[in-house]
Amino acid sequence: MEFFHRPTSFPFMATRKVWYTLSAILMIGSFISFATRGLNLAIDFTGGVTVEATLTKTADIDAIRSSIESAGFKEPQVQNFGSSRDIAIRLPPDSTQTAAVIRSKIDAAIKAIDPGATILRLEVVGPQVGKELQTSAAWALLFTLVFIGLYIMLRFHTWRLSLGAILAVMHDPILVLGIFSITQTPFDLAVVAAVLAVIGYSLNDTVVVFDRIRERFEHNRRLAPALVLDQSINQTLSRTIMTKVVTAIVVVALLFLGGPVLRGFSEALMIGILAGTYSSIYISSSVALDFGLTAEHVFPSIKKSAVDQTP
Amino acid sequence: MLEYARWKYILVAAVLLIALLFALPNVFGDDPALQVASKNHENLDAAAQKTLEQFLKERKIEYSRSYIDSGRVMIRLPDVGQQLQARDAVNEKFKDQYITAMSFAPRVPDILRKVGLRPMPLGLDLRGGLYLLYQVDVDSAVGQYLEGYGQDIRRALSAANLPYIDVQAVTVDSDRPNTVRVLLPPATDRGAVRAAAAKAVPDLTFETVSLPSGEAVQAVLTPQKIRERQDYAIQQNLTTLRNRVNEMGVAEPIVQRQGIDRISVQLPGVQNSAEVKDILGKVATLEFRLEYTQGNAFEAAARGRAPLGAKLYTYEGRPVLLKREIIVTGDQLTNATSAPTQDGPGVSLKLDARGGDAMLKNTRANVNRRMGVVYIEKRRETSEVNGQQVTRDITDQRVINLATIRGVFSNNFQITGLTAGESRDLALLLRAGSLATPIYSIDERVVGPSLGKDNIRKGVNALVIGMLAVFLFMAIYYRTFGLVADVVLLANVVLLTALLSMMRTALSLPGIAGIILTVGMAVDANVLIYERIREELRNGVSPQAAIRLGFEKAFSAIADSNITTLIAGVVLWVFGTGAIRGFAVVLTLGIATSMFTSLMGSRALLTLMYGGRRKIARLSI
């Protein structure tokens, strides 16, 4: 079986304005949502209290909310979590009460509604921990981008490809954040991990395409750059789609079978994989072309690169 | 011609064999278990094991087997219900001998366990338990340090008859106290003071300064000194917390430093956070003082001030005066155990040589006078005032016992006056040592055991189904070569499991997600190679040459694409904590193992299948 029986020849470079526009719309949409709605930060980042409980019958969310309010907690968020009998309660940070007190109060408040309820998980995160996590997540993002940019620069000898890779790679987390902002999906630490994994992974395709570009240039240095880029993307297209399908299979398994704890993580991965495939096909090479990529940039001297070795 | 060096075959085979061995313990699963340890830290032996087995049989509590693991008896039980019953029964019968802890014991055959092969440990989110993050008050550690220097300097100046106004801990160009300063009256010989101070505290550099308020000699702690002191305080607290956790008898606890001034504590299986936090965070000690008899306690209480050389306390609702001079403090204890006495619950104490001497001297000189035992407990309360975090330290001091000295004793005696629970806690705290500086919890997570089981089930389901789908897809898409890729993928999972078991990093739910993701990504290298082989075949290259060229030409793309993911993995590893680090570890290791299996493993397998001088008409790809 094969997706593409013979090599395809889609005119990616000629149509690049279309793809730029599409990306621009997606990016602007993400930024607008980000600026106006922000992210629904989980208590990992804001500090506060999360309680997960399971009830013996279908949860009456409103009754539980008012029971918790009358126990003296302000603005409780009560949601179904997983099934109709499981609930998640979120409370804003409150440093005047110890976790043990909060636990017993919440326990009593839920049991007043359903005596057979049990608390499955209780998390109390201090506000300063949340702030630090925000900072370290931001640093992690920045470092990843910088190091990857440097690596591409070293490997492919030209900032043009490096810039293309970085733009394509930034495109993906921005879209993930944008969609998380639009849907207000809870954004927790696991999602940050997913976003970083996406950055590394979406670059896979870009790098494979770039590798092919280098090979094509080596093969024939006189070919027009736009043609070389088109050929390279088309020749690697089967592989790009194939690996993404396989990774998507496992991520779908995670999404549907991994349970609510991994839901946000798997959604971020799914969006990131789709966005990553798109950006490495339609964005990364086109950007390099628009910044004037030629064979000379990839091979400053006529020396055969010594990387192709047998493992 | 398709060939592969013999040493590479051997390497692949050897790595896989070792990996299989290390991954093996993970397939057996685990049982609920009861872990029984001795209260006096003695290693339990076969006799104790036998006694426990006998006892369970008497009580008709079913157990599947028991064994001794690093001085503790592990009893495996068929289900959680039996586990609870066994715990309650053992606790009731052997209250004074053993500490019990509920845990899970792997069903690994004895022969594997004896050679040290264990399954990978599970994180708290998968087995249930309590996670606490403590902030260590390192500033107060530095403060204590300055205070100590101050005392040395005072003593030295007094001894040398040098006048001074005060010795203080002050703040110089910093946001926290970092300097010890000697304020001097006008026309003092600053040089002499400086020399005396430098002699008393040789590890600081003193300078003379002129302040608006007068002349002074001071020493500023270097940042390095401050850091050393902070590290020392953290280390000491780590040790104490470890001791306390061990005293509680929790199975496989993890106590580790996190960042500059934090300590995280993971207690698998523990659900009641209030009790644990109470013990872990408590700073408690004892002081022994003689009664002060030259004054009237009621008068002192009425005036609200104790006479010079005495301190005012209350005991059983009445004021009492004790001497300022302390005979023995809690740090001079070498052992403390709770034991019932004829006057109710008590604590048996053992002192070190110096403490024993002091006690002997004092009791000998003061027979028929009264001695008080002061129980001191420090804690920290954090509250929010006008949006600002305000913390204050509270010290509770109370006389728990005031009794007449009936006879002379030295390093071995008992005290009473606490409730049974208090005696047990005090004995534990005294044994486990005191915290060098106060700590307070800033993050607390409890995961119920049923949620843990549920998380494992879901994670494993996703892994198995995801993998099966990938296997099927690869087999359909690449036929024989797809099956080769499937074998290689399976080897990759085995290798990764083995590495994780060897490193003994706890597997968390994000870690399982990392394994699943690795399966998806490990396919990538195979796909790159196979697509390359197909391409070469399309260009009319012979099958065997196509395989060789496929591997050769795909190598640089595989290396480049894996290195970029590796960068993200390493950054996550460095910046992440807890579960995120677990994910990063799996991701990073997964990249390494998948490079090995898909480059070397699959090449070895394909060369075995298609190599040599055989003529091959076409490939099933």
Distance of CA B228 to the CA centre of its chain: 21
Domain-embedded: residue A307: no
Q: Are A292 and A159 in the same domain?
A: yes
Q: B288 pLDDT band (50/70/90 cuts)?
A: confident
Q: Is the pLDDT of residue B176 over 70?
A: yes
What is the pLDDT, as a whole number, of residue A309? 47
Q: Is the Cβ–Cβ distance between A88 and A186 less than 8 Å?
A: no
Tokens of B507: 């597997």
d(CA A127, CA A47): 4
Are residues A34 and A62 both part of a single domain? no
Domain final position from A103, A125, A147: A125
A292 vs A290: CA distance, rounded Å: 5
Asked, for residue A261, whether it belongs to a domain, the answer is yes
Each residue of B298-308: pLDDT tens digit?
Answer: 888 888 888 87
A176 and A283 within one domain: yes
Whether A306 contacts chain B with CB within 8 A: no
The pLDDT value given to residue A306: 47
B535 to chain A, closest Cα gap in Å: 9
Q: Are B266 and B131 in contact (CB under 8 A)?
A: yes
Q: How far is CA A307 from CA A150, A298, B562, B592, in A?
A: 18, 14, 15, 19
Nearest to B92 by CA among B81, B104, B82, B100: B100
Q: Model-level pTM greater than 0.80?
A: no
The number of beta carbons lying within 10 Å of the beta carbon of residue B466 is 26
Under CATH, which architecture does the B138-226 domain have?
Answer: Alpha-Beta Complex (3.90)
Is A145 found in the same domain as A85? no
Q: Is A118 on the interface with B (CB under 8 A)?
A: yes
Least confident of A21-25, A123-127, A250-254, B540-544: A123-127
Q: Please answer yes or no on whether A243 and B277 come within 8 Å at the CB atom.
A: no
- Give the total number of structural domains in chain A: 2
Tell me, yes or no, whether A167 and A284 share the same domain.
Answer: yes
Domain at A78, CATH number: 3.30.70.3400
CATH level 2 (architecture), domain B6-24+449-610: Up-down Bundle (1.20)
* pLDDT (average), residues A217-228: 87
Alpha-carbon gap, residue B314 to B297, rounded angstroms: 9
Measure the CA–CA gap between B526 and B547, rounded to whole angstroms. Answer: 12
Residue type, B205: T
pLDDT value, residue A18: 93
Q: Which of A179, A207, A184 is nearest to A275 (CA)?
A: A179
Q: What is the CA radius of gyration of chain A?
A: 25
Of all residues in chain B, what percent carry a pLDDT higher than 70?
Answer: 94
Structure-model confidence comparison of residues A197 and B51, the more confident one: B51
Residues A25 and A75 in one domain: no
Topology annotation, domain B30-107 = Alpha-Beta Plaits (3.30.70)
- Structural domain including A82 reads 48-125
Per-residue pLDDT reduced to its tens digit, B518-553: 887 788 889 889 988 998 998 889 888 999 999 998
Q: Can you read off the two tokens belonging to residue B46? A: 């076969």
Per-residue pLDDT band at A301 (split at 50, 70, 90)? low
Q: What is the pLDDT of residues B335-381, one digit of tens each?
A: 777 777 777 788 888 888 878 888 888 888 888 888 888 887 766 56
Residue of B nearest to A264 (CA): B510
Stretch B98-123: mean pLDDT, rounded? 81
Residues 6+ apart with CB under 8 A from A60: A113
Whether pLDDT at A99 is above 70: no
Mean pLDDT in residue range B173-185: 85
Q: Are residues A110 and A229 in the same domain?
A: no
Residue whose entry in the numeric block shows the structure tokens 């890729």: B485
Q: CA B210, CA B140: separation in Å to the nearest integer? A: 28
Of chain B, the end-to-end C-alpha distance in Å amounts to: 18
Please tell me whether residues A166 and A247 are part of one structural domain.
yes
Domain's final residue, options A99, A125, A151: A125
Residues A112 and A260 in one domain: no
Q: Read off the pLDDT of each residue in B197-208 and give the average, rounded to a whole number.
A: 85
- Position of tokens 């075959």? B9
Average pLDDT on B564-585 reads: 80
Indicate which CATH number applies to the domain containing A134.
1.20.1640.10
A311 belongs to a structural domain: no
In chain B, where are the structural domains located? 6-24+449-610, 30-107, 138-226, 284-417
User: What does the alpha-carbon distance between residue B561 and residue A231 come to, in Å, rounded to a whole number?
Assistant: 20
Distance CA B383, CA B361 (A): 46
Q: What is the pLDDT of residue A229?
A: 92
Residue B526 corresponds to which tokens in the numbers above? Answer: 């195979």
- Please report the residues numbered 202 through 241 in chain A whose beta carbons come closer than 8 angstroms to any beta carbon of chain B: 203-205, 207-208, 210-212, 215, 235-236, 238-239
Min CA distance, B469 vs chain A (Å)? 7
Mean pLDDT score, B553-578: 82
Distance from CA of A221 to the nearest CA of B (A): 19
Q: A201: number of CA atoms within 13 Å, CB side?
A: 33
| Domain boundary, last residue among A125, A152, A167 | A125
Chain B residue with minimum CA distance to A150: B564
Provide the pLDDT for residue B491. 93
The one-letter amino acid code at B382 reads T
Is residue A6 included in any domain, yes or no?
no
Give residue-wise pLDDT tens across range B379-400. Answer: 656 555 665 556 666 777 888 8
Whether A137 and A231 map to the same domain: the answer is yes
Phi, psi values for residue B2, rounded to 5°: -130, 120
**Average pLDDT of the residues in A168-183:** 91
Q: What distance in Å separates residue B305's CA from the closest CA in chain A?
A: 34
Integer distance in angstroms from the first to the last C-alpha of chain A? 28
Q: Does residue A141 or residue B216 have the better pLDDT?
A: B216
Pick the CATH number of B284-417 from 3.30.565, 3.30.300, 3.30.1360, 3.30.160: 3.30.1360
- For Cα atoms A280, A285, A287, give the angle at the middle one, nearest 5 degrees: 110
If asked whether residues A165 and A180 sit together in one domain, one would say yes
